[in-house]
């Protein structure tokens, strides 16, 4: 069983079905139109919007090569805009790309980056969506408890009125996924609860696609509950609904579910008929996993019907398709390694650029602070009326020394990192050397200031005493 992923609900389901049913020529025309729209976009934000439309299009038609190119450019534009929300969307699209290529490690990394960005902005709708996306990765690797953890988090946001308003179909998807996780864990009672909740929510959403999917899940849950009559009724309905929508992938999946159920019931001729239906649909869309599922039923059914030649034929087909999937996954991994390195390099360049900007600002702040401290010290030295003690100068001197050390550290840091190859020990030794050079100079400077202050203070006190003496002499008795 596959969890419902994001590609089922960025657009209404029927729109997604219509896009997937477009001819190759029509898809190419639409792709060319989107490319032209991107080229004509004025301003970075409009370009990002056009790129995101293109990524959604490639997600809908399951074109991972097109999605890869658009997602990479989308990320670059978002990084240039320095907008956390847009970066979160970009990382989500990258997660969908890696998920589609079964690179679950990179997909999870991308989704978690997106989640962190959305949480920093308290974007509740996107938090709800990306936590559901994360749950699908854990479901793919059969870690259903962790999948349920993220689904519970997703549901807690998806039921909020403001999120429902923006993403009204999301709660249906979450409940369907919770049903499948519980059923996979052997808890069909809990699974039944959530598929019923999904069905109730879909009354408002009115998605025929969700209905086709849920009918199959109802069949699976009732099969686990050993209610075979109900299971078969729902399996039949699910196939009929998928046929009515002409949704090829759903036909493949629902017919496989039903054929596997019939196989377990030892109704081999009926299982064959339904498995052939699944196989034809899967081949029509080059849905390799669908083909593998269907031929596994056909192989078992023919074996039990004592038709070894047919069983052998479908066993070979199963092996061939598994090899094709394995080879494609290996090719994807090689491509993904290069693509991931490009993304990592772009992120590293962005980080270095931000650090340079931050360091530049810090240098300016330190220079301003040094200027202020120097101004205060000079004011104390050369003022004709202010008396400053040595303790004041000592405190000001220490503050000035610390700020000067930080200023030099910020100024020389890039050079030292390059010179020491970012070695912590060599960096520490470099800082100690700088401090060793600064401290003696600081002591000499402080001594000079103290001498100046003593001399200045004496002059101020002498002038004050003379002024007081003259005043007192004028008030002596017998004078005047």
Judged on CB neighbours under 10 Å (0-12, 13-18, 19+), 170 is buried
Q: What is the DSSP letter of 334?
A: H
Report how many domains make up the chain: 3
Q: 14-23, 57-66, 294-303, 388-397: which has the minimum mean pLDDT?
A: 14-23
Same domain, 362 and 293: no
When pLDDT is averaged across residues 444-449 and rounded to a whole number, the result is: 64
Same domain, 367 and 281: no
Residue 9: pLDDT band with limits 50, 70, 90: very low
**CATH value at residue 19:** 1.25.40.10
Residue 131 lies in a domain: no
Looking at mean pLDDT, say which of 107-111, 286-290, 437-441 comes out highest: 107-111
Same domain, 289 and 375: no
Q: Decide if 387 contacts 457 (C-beta within 8 A).
A: yes
Same domain, 243 and 299: yes
d(CA 475, CA 3): 102
pLDDT tens-place string over residues 324-367: 766 666 666 666 666 666 667 766 676 766 667 766 666 676 66
Query: In this predicted structure, what is the pLDDT of residue 99?
Result: 86
28, pLDDT greater than 80: no
d(CA 174, CA 303): 39
Check residues 319 and 5 and name the one with the higher pLDDT.
319
Same domain, 323 and 249: yes
pTM (two decimals): 0.68
Same domain, 318 and 371: no
399, pLDDT greater than 70: no
Same domain, 309 and 423: no
Looking at 62, 91, 121, the residue that finishes a domain is 121
Residue 433 lies in a domain: yes
Residue 137 lies in a domain: no
445, pLDDT greater than 70: no
Q: Decide if 135 contacts 150 (C-beta within 8 A).
A: yes
Same domain, 320 and 434: no
Q: What is the residue range of 112's domain?
A: 1-121
In sequence order, what DSSP letters do the residues of 97-125 get, joined into one string? Answer: HHHHTT-HHHHHHHHHHHHHHHHHTT-HH
Residue 8 lies in a domain: yes
Supply the angle between the helices 44-60 and 84-100 in degrees, to the nearest 10: 20
Looking at 63, 90, 121, the residue that finishes a domain is 121
Cα-based angle 263, 264, 270 (whole degrees, multiple of 5): 30
Residue 10: pLDDT band with limits 50, 70, 90: very low
Same domain, 254 and 314: yes
Looking at 73, 98, 121, the residue that finishes a domain is 121
Same domain, 308 and 372: no
Residue 359 lies in a domain: yes
Check residues 432 and 105 and name the one with the higher pLDDT.
105
Same domain, 289 and 370: no
Q: Decide if 209 contacts 16 (C-beta within 8 A).
A: yes
Long-range contacts of 106-113 (CB under 8 A, 24+ apart): 106/336, 106/340, 107/137, 108/134, 108/137, 111/137, 113/88
When pLDDT is averaged across residues 171-179 and rounded to a whole number, the result is: 95
Half-sphere exposure in the Cβ direction for 168 (13 Å, CA): 11
pLDDT tens-place string over residues 219-253: 999 999 999 999 999 999 999 999 998 888 889 99
Residue 232 lies in a domain: yes
Query: In this predicted structure, what is the pLDDT of residue 359?
Result: 65
Residue 173 lies in a domain: no
Residue 473 lies in a domain: no
Q: Decide if 195 contacts 183 (C-beta within 8 A).
A: no
Same domain, 304 and 360: no
Q: Which two tokens stand for residue 40?
A: 């004509």
């Amino acid at each position: 069983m596959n969890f419902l992923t994001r590609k089922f609900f960025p657009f209404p389901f029927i729109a997604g079905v219509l896009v997937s049913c477009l001819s190759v020529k029509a898809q190419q025309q639409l792709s060319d139109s989107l490319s032209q729209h991107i080229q004509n976009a004025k301003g970075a934000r409009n370009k990002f919007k056009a790129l995101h439309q293109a990524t959604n299009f490639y997600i809908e038609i399951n074109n991972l090569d097109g999605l890869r190119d658009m997602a990479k450019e989308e990320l670059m534009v978002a990084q240039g805009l320095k907008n956390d929300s847009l970066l979160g969307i970009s990382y989500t699209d990258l997660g969908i790309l890696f998920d589609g290529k079964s690179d679950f490690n990179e997909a999870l990394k991308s989704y978690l980056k997106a989640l962190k960005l959305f949480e920093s902005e308290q974007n509740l709708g996107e938090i709800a969506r990306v936590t559901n996306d994360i749950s699908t990765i854990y479901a793919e690797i059969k870690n259903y408890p962790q999948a349920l953890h993220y689904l519970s988090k997703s549901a807690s946001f998806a039921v909020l009125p403001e999120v429902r308003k923006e993403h009204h179909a999301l709660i249906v998807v979450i409940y369907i996924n919770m049903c499948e996780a519980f059923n996979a864990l052997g808890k069909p009672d809990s699974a039944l609860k959530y598929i019923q909740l999904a069905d109730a929510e879909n009354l408002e959403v009115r998605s025929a696609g969700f209905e086709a999917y849920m009918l199959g899940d109802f069949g699976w849950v009732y099969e686990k509950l050993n209610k075979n009559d109900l299971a078969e009724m729902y399996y039949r309905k699910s196939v009929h609904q998928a046929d009515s929508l002409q949704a090829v992938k759903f036909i493949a999946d629902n017919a496989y579910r039903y054929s596997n159920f019939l196989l377990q019931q030892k109704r081999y001729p009926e299982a064959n008929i339904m498995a052939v239906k699944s196989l034809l649909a899967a081949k029509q869309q080059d849905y390799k996993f669908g083909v593998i599922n269907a031929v596994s039923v056909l192989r078992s059914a023919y074996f039990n019907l004592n038709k070894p030649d047919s069983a052998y034929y479908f066993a070979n087909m199963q092996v061939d398709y598994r090899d094709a999937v394995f080879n494609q996954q290996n090719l994807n991994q090689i491509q993904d390694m290069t693509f991931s390195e490009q993304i990592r390099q772009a992120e590293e360049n962005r980080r270095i650029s931000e650090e340079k900007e931050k360091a530049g600002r810090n240098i300016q702040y330190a220079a301003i602070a040094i200027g202020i401290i120097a101004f205060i010290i000079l004011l104390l030295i050369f003022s004709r009326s202010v008396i400053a003690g040595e303790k004041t100068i000592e405190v000001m001197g220490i503050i000035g020394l610390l700020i000067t050390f930080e200023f030099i550290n910020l100024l020389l840091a890039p050079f030292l990192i390059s010179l020491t190859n970012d070695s912590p020990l060599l960096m520490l030794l470099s800082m100690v050397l700088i401090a060793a050079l600064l401290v003696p100079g600081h002591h000499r400077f402080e001594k000079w200031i103290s001498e100046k202050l003593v001399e200045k203070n004496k002059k101020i006190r002498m002038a004050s005493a003379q002024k007081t003496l003259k005043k007192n002499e004028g008030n002596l008795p017998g004078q005047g």
